[in-house]
A = this chain, B = another copy of it.
C-alpha cells in the first residue's frame, strides 16, 4: 500500500517518524479514518470538516486544502489497485526542538485494506465490558487510546468486543464507536462527552423517518429497560450489542429495529457515490 507523507507519495514502508515527533514523545496527535464505497470516499465532506475541527482545537495548521487532499485520495486509490480501501489520516505535532514546542505538523495519509467483517457479531451480537472513564477532549479525535490498547487482551479473554465508557453513572461511548439503545420505538443516544461519529450521524438520518430519536444524557441504569442496543462506526456499521458486563440487553439477541437499521445502512451504501461517478464521466 502507498501513503502520502509530508508532500510525497511513497510505499508505506518508506515513511517513518523521527524520534522527536511529538506524537512519540508527547502523545500529541490526532487522526481520522474512513472508507470508500464503490471507490468513492464515504461522506468525505463530513470527515474533512471533522478533521479540520480537530486540527483547529489542537492548534495544528493543516498543510493541505480539501481539494488538494481529495486529489491525493484519488491518487492513493489508483495506486492501491483494489476495489475498496480505508484511509487513515494522522496529523502529529511534528518534530520538536525541545520536546514541548511545535514547529510544523507532520501529515500522514495511509491507505489500508478494509478490516475483516465480523459476521458473527452481526448475527449474534457483541458483548461489552463497562469501564469507568470519560475521554479527555472527547469531541477531538486525538490518538489517545490508552485504555483500549491496555485492555485489549482482557477484552479477548472475556469474549468482549469493546469497552463501554461511563462516568458518574452516565454513558458516553465505546472506545472508538458510538452507543445507542432502543426503548420500544424510541432511539436514544448520548449527547455529550462523545466523539461525534460520522456513522452515528448517518444512521440517525436513516432512523429519523422510522423512530422517535432522543439525543440526551443516558444513564447506566437505563440499560435495565433497554430493549435493544447497538454501536455505530465506519467499520462496524450498525453492530448489535447483546450484553454489557453481566447485564443482558433485551432478550439477549440482536434486536429487530437494530437489524432494520443495519439493513437500511447496507442498502444505502450499496450505491453510494455511483451518481457522482456517473457525473464525473
Which residue numbers of A lie inside 8 Å of B, CB to CB?
3, 5, 12-13, 15-19, 21-29, 31, 57-59, 88, 90, 92-93, 98-102, 108, 110, 115, 133, 136-137, 142-146, 148-150, 152-153
Contacts and interface: CB of A to CB of B under 8 A. Distances in A.
A119 to B, nearest CB: 18
Given A19-B3, A59-B153, A26 B148 contact: yes
B150 A59 contact: yes
A148 B142 CA distance: 14
- Which one of A3, A17, A22, A153 has the greatest number of beta carbons of chain B within 10 Å? A17
A165 to B, nearest CB: 12
Contact of A143 (B15, B26, B90, B110): B26
Given A19-B108, A110-B19, A90 B31 contact: no
Majority secondary structure of chain A interface residues (helix, strand, loop or mixed): mixed
A27 B30 CA distance: 9
- Which one of A13, A146, A153 has the greatest number of beta carbons of chain B within 10 Å? A146
Contact of A149 (B31, B100, B150): B100
A13 B17 contact: no
Contact of A136 (B13, B92, B136): B136
A21 B27 contact: no
Contact of A23 (B23, B102, B142, B152): B23
Contacts of A19: 3, 5, 12, 15-17, 90, 108, 110
Nearest to A12: B19
Contact of A24 (B24, B101, B153): B24
- Which one of A12, A19, A21, A153 has the greatest number of beta carbons of chain B within 10 Å? A19
Contacts of A136: 133, 136, 146
Contacts of A27: 23, 27, 29, 142-146
A7 to B, nearest CB: 15
B13 A16 contact: no
Contacts of A21: 17, 24
Nearest to A98: B115
Given A101-B149, A136-B146, 5 more contacts: A17-B17, A19-B90, A28-B145, A98-B115, A137-B146
A93 B115 CA distance: 20
Closest 4 CB pairs of A and B: A16-B16, A27-B27, A26-B145, A27-B144
Given A12-B19, A17-B16, A19-B16, A100 B146 contact: no
A59 B152 CA distance: 10
- Which one of A12, A16, A88, A92 has the greatest number of beta carbons of chain B within 10 Å? A16
